[in-house]
Amino acid sequence: MLKNKRIFLIVFMFILSIALVACGDSDTDGGGGDSSDGDTISIKFAHEEGQDDVQDLYANKFKETIEEESDGKIEVEVYTAGTLGTNMDALQSLQTGAIEMAITSPGFSGDVIPESNIMSIPFLFSDDLEVNRKVLDESEALYGPLAEQYEEKGITPFKFWLEGFMWWTANKEIKTPEDMDGVKMRTMPSNLINKAYKHMGASPQDTDSGEIYTMLQTKGIDAQENPLFYVYSSNFHEVQDYLMDSKHHIYTTVTAANQEFFEGLDEEDQQMIEDAVQEVNDWSFEMQEEEAEKALEGIQEEEIELIELTSEEREAFKEMSLDVREDYKAESDIAAEILETIEKEIEEAEEEVGD
């Protein structure tokens, strides 16, 4: 009996030591996340939205694509909003390497990478999504000076992309700057977005995405801006009376990696990841259009009233928002260069796509 106990103890101690060695290994990995054990590359991929939202469809399409193209050598675990803390936490985790990849929006990176606020300037991009698609895919301003600012913060940006036009929802009709006067408008936690709404006469309130519904319901805020799919999937139509076809902006974001992780990979794996991001980026344009159509259909079955703004009415808001471009340029010389270049690129793309 004693003999059996001794054998059991020896075997048990042996298994425990194996396990500890294995755990010990992952803790000491330089990038913080375990990204390669010689055969498999593991990627924790965080995004800012819920299940089946545009970013979730994108992240899972990326998972499917890269796992297939790498024959399983690269494995991806997708994390929806809130599973790894707030969207700001996810950005920080991307910088430290606690996660390997993420979709992170300028609404959350604007205060960390001020030049990324270029994406938060209302009425800067075209009313034609095809034009914006081209600029976001090819812009020298974005993939030159702006990308360098991300790299300085330990992030490798792959591709900027769009999730659709921004619409206003509110508990009152908003068609003129007078209507916007003093409106408690929910914004993402970005100084520049905050300034833009102050220029438009509103009283901006930056609120974490998870709190918007309750704040609207309890009248802590009066209004918010988001693409249609997000309005619908977050049920904002249940707590708002009006949906304004403002198209005052497009929701843009970037797919990125932790720089140390990505630069630690061999060229072949780097290329596979970049190719997969490009493939999914191209696919995402039609996907976000379909999601917007589906959402508009669903929303129109609800009580909320759809308000169309005329081009004159939109122009009045555009006029009021122009000062925010000066605020952006004041951020840095690089910011001024980025704005100047992208304004030209949008104009040229409008001529090209418009032909």
**Cα(1)–Cα(160) distance, integer angstroms:** 68
| Chain centroid to CA 250 | 12
Q: How far is the CB of 188 from ligand 6CS (least distance, A)?
A: 5
Among 43, 44, 45, 49, the residue binding ligand 6CS under the rule CB under 6 A is 49
Pick one of 242, 251, 317, 328: the residue that binds ligand 6CS (CB under 6 A): 251
Q: Which is nearer to ligand 6CS, 223 or 265 (CB)?
A: 223
DSSP class per residue in 23-75: HHHHHT-TTSS---SSSPEEEEEE-SS-TTSHHHHHHHHHHHHHHHHTTTSEE
State the nearest-atom distance from the C-beta of 255 to ligand 6CS, in Å: 14
Alpha helices by DSSP H, the chain: 2-27, 54-69, 87-96, 106-109, 129-138, 140-141, 147-152, 177-180, 191-199, 212-217, 228-233, 259-263, 267-300, 311-321, 323-329, 333-354
Of 137, 163, 269, 313, the one binding ligand 6CS by CB under 6 A: 163
Size of the site for ligand 6CS (CB under 6 A): 11
We find the least distance from the C-beta atom of residue 276 to ligand 6CS, in angstroms, to be 22
Instruction: Report in angstroms how near the CB of residue 54 gets to ligand 6CS at its nearest.
Output: 7
Nearer to ligand 6CS (CB atom), residue 155 or residue 215: 215
- The yes or no reply on residue 116 touching ligand 6CS (CB under 6 A) is no
Whether the Cβ atoms of residue 107 and residue 212 lie closer than 8 Å to each other: no
Q: How far is the CB of 169 from ligand 6CS (least distance, A)?
A: 11
Applying the rule CB under 6 A, the residues between 171 and 200 that interact with ligand 6CS are: 188
The residue type of 209 is: S
Q: CA 301, 307, 309 angle in degrees (round to 5)?
A: 145
| Binding track, positions 225-244, relative to ligand 6CS; x by CB under 6 A | -xx--x--------------
Q: State the pairing for strand pair 184-187/223-226.
A: parallel
Q: How far is the CB of 91 from ligand 6CS (least distance, A)?
A: 11
Binding site for ligand 6CS (CB under 6 A): 48-49, 87, 105, 163, 188, 209, 226-227, 230, 251
